[in-house]
Amino acid sequence: MSLHPLTGTNALVFALGLGLVLAGAHLLLHSSQLRRRGRHTWGTVTDATPAGSQVTFQIPDGATVTVASRYRLAPGRAVPLYYAPEQPADFAIDSPLYRWGPYFLLALGLGIIPLAWLL
């Protein structure tokens, strides 16, 4: 069995797998830093739009922060979230997707990359 060059479909499959690995690694790095260095609090969904939701939460100095979430959530719902104390707009809703999504992308990408040589 000889290795063949990555051309055509093989190159696209490899690029897809590599893109998923890089996206998963980026999200994993961001989420782990935010969970480790950030603050955990609860926010309230104040508005829902087709593009996502508005979430409002309070920081320790009493200021109210409103941020846009990609999740479509029901108004009035309480949601757990992490935020960066130095920049509260840098936040993430604490959900199973947030915790496990990066691992899923990494695994999927690592599973797809070998297909570039098997096709």
Angle subtended at Cα 67 by Cα 63 and Cα 73, rounded to the nearest 5 degrees? 125
Residue 1 resides in a domain: no
Give this prediction's pTM: 0.74
With pLDDT > 70 as the criterion, what percentage of the chain qualifies?
A: 96
- Domain range for 98 is 9-118
Query: What's the CATH number where 25 sits?
Result: 2.40.50.100
Average pLDDT on 82-99 reads 92
Total structural domains in the chain? Answer: 1
Mean pLDDT of the chain: 91
pLDDT in tens, 31-56: 899 999 999 999 999 999 888 999 99
pLDDT of residue 18: 96
